[in-house]
Copies of this chain bind each other. A is one copy, B any other.
Amino acid sequence: MDQKRPVRVRIIDVATEAGVSKSTVSIAFNNPQRLSAETTARIRSVADSLGYRPHPVARMLAQRQTRTLGILTPQALTVAFGNPFFSMFSQGVASVGEEFGYALLYVSPLHGSLARAAGQASVDGFVAIGLGEDHPEVEEIRSAGLPIVLVDSAAFPEHGSVEVDDEGGAFAAAQHLVELGHTDFLIIAVEPPYFAVGSDVVSPVLDGVMSRRMRGYRRALEAAGIELADERVVTGSAGFDGGVGAFNRGLDSGLHFTAVLVMSDAMAIGAIHAANERGLTVPGDVSLVGFDNIDEAEHTHPPLTTVHQPAREKGAAAARLLLAAIDRRGSGQPEHRRLGTRLIIRESTSRVAGERQEVNSET
């Protein structure tokens, strides 16, 4: 049995082998111009032949920086990565992270506790996606002296934040359908209990986002004098399947509707699929508007009308704010950014079909 125990080469080994002190070795790597060329060369070659790599953790400790950005999510990663939107957001964070040489650490609740998970993460700062008021980990992190940028939540003015105009986007979506003459609506929301583990509070994150969207829908409908009965709001789990389930439930409840507002594209794609399966054509029988504008929304059949939110820019902006906060180490004002949303009209929506044309063209 060849015990392949590749004992790590330490800086002291290199120093001994090269006949210098460990400070000198360290300098040879981090500040070569302070050393004579030959010494540097010798140390380098010894290090190479020994296969020396500075221990990243020791280095982090001494330099007091990790060159790592943390992404904090109150949902399990298995659910987070199930949402294409999250991937796009990640792309944004990653793009600026990579540019500045930072790796990405994903932190999700461990054994139900996000705070504990955050506590044992070695990062220079956090991007927290949707931590609402009652999330104690924000305080936790602050007391650890780490900067944090909140996404989809402005509950903590003392920290940077990046938001998106959810309400405005939702309003535009609903208004668009109203203008097409629709009066009978179904709303598909993502259901609140996103996960339920351990003793921690359950994520009110999406709750915030979703309730803002709901507000936008409601405002537009009210403005058009359309009343929205509670049973016209159905929910399902985030993700494609949740969309088919919710749509079917809406259908089965016996409601009549010609327009569906869906709070996420993933669910909207599921809903389109469900509609087809049930013999309904989109947008002939039912018009449908999603939210997010994920990449696949353009390629559905029919292409999905949806509210674009700049997910990648959101991630990038959050990362930039965080890097800035890391740089100035606690001083300076936190920045708050709010990005726009806009309605993308494709082909999943159309004027309401002939007969029930009780047009309410005022507003």
Name A's B-contacting residues (CB within 8 A): 1, 3-9, 51, 53-61, 66-68, 76-78, 81-82, 84, 86-88, 90-91, 94-95, 97-98, 101, 103-111, 117, 119-122, 140, 142-145, 158, 239-240, 244, 269-270, 272-273, 276, 295-296, 298-301, 303, 329-331
Instruction: Give 15 A-B pairs besides A103-B117, A240-B295 with Cβ atoms closer than 8 angstroms.
Output: A4-B330, A5-B331, A8-B144, A53-B143, A55-B61, A61-B61, A77-B98, A78-B95, A81-B91, A84-B84, A103-B108, A103-B110, A269-B296, A270-B299, A272-B299
Nearest-neighbour CB distance to chain B for A118, whole angstroms, equals 9
Nearest-neighbour CB distance to chain B for A270, whole angstroms, equals 6
Task: Look across to chain B and name the residue whose beta carbon is closest to the beta carbon of A104.
Answer: B106
Q: B105 touching A104 by the CB < 8 A rule?
A: yes
Contact residues in B for A119 (Cβ distance below 8 Å): 53-54, 56
Contact residues in B for A329 (Cβ distance below 8 Å): 5
Q: A98 touching B108 by the CB < 8 A rule?
A: yes
Contact residues in B for A121 (Cβ distance below 8 Å): 56, 103
Contact residues in B for A296 (Cβ distance below 8 Å): 240, 269, 296
CA distance A57 to B300 in the complex (A): 46
Partner pick for A56 among B104, B109, B120, B301, CB 8 A cutoff: B120
- How many of these chains are in the complex? 2
Q: A106 touching B94 by the CB < 8 A rule?
A: yes
Q: A300 touching B300 by the CB < 8 A rule?
A: yes
Nearest-neighbour CB distance to chain B for A65, whole angstroms, equals 10
Partner pick for A77 among B9, B57, B104, B143, CB 8 A cutoff: B104
CA distance A272 to B66 in the complex (A): 45
Nearest-neighbour CB distance to chain B for A196, whole angstroms, equals 14
Q: A91 touching B103 by the CB < 8 A rule?
A: no
Task: Look across to chain B and name the residue whose beta carbon is closest to the beta carbon of A107.
Answer: B103
Nearest-neighbour CB distance to chain B for A20, whole angstroms, equals 22
With A240-B298, A296-B296, A330-B5 as known contacts, state yes or no: A110 contacts B81, CB within 8 Å: no
With A59-B120, A104-B105, A105-B105 as known contacts, state yes or no: A144 contacts B53, CB within 8 Å: yes
